[in-house]
Amino acid sequence: MDWRRRLTALLHGPEPTLEQATRAAIAFGGVQDCTIQFADVPTDELRRAAVGGACAALGIEPTPDQRIR
């Protein structure tokens, strides 16, 4: 769990709001879960879908190559 706190601090600073911390937990945990639940999906396809979902949870726009096609 410490890695999630460190990534959250990188995104939102050392004292994220509850909303920011919650969104980050959803985004990072969701990506982690997707690698297990969808292990049979091709890596590039899963990466686009998982990163797109994480960006949505964080309230940010994915880069063009990360958008779900």
User: For residue 3, what pLDDT is reported?
Assistant: 84
- Eight-state DSSP code of residue 59: T
In which residue ranges of the chain is pLDDT below 50?
none
Say whether 14 sits in a helix, a strand or coil.
coil
Distance of alpha carbon 6 from alpha carbon 46, whole angstroms: 24
User: For residue 5, what pLDDT is reported?
Assistant: 87
User: For residue 69, what pLDDT is reported?
Assistant: 55
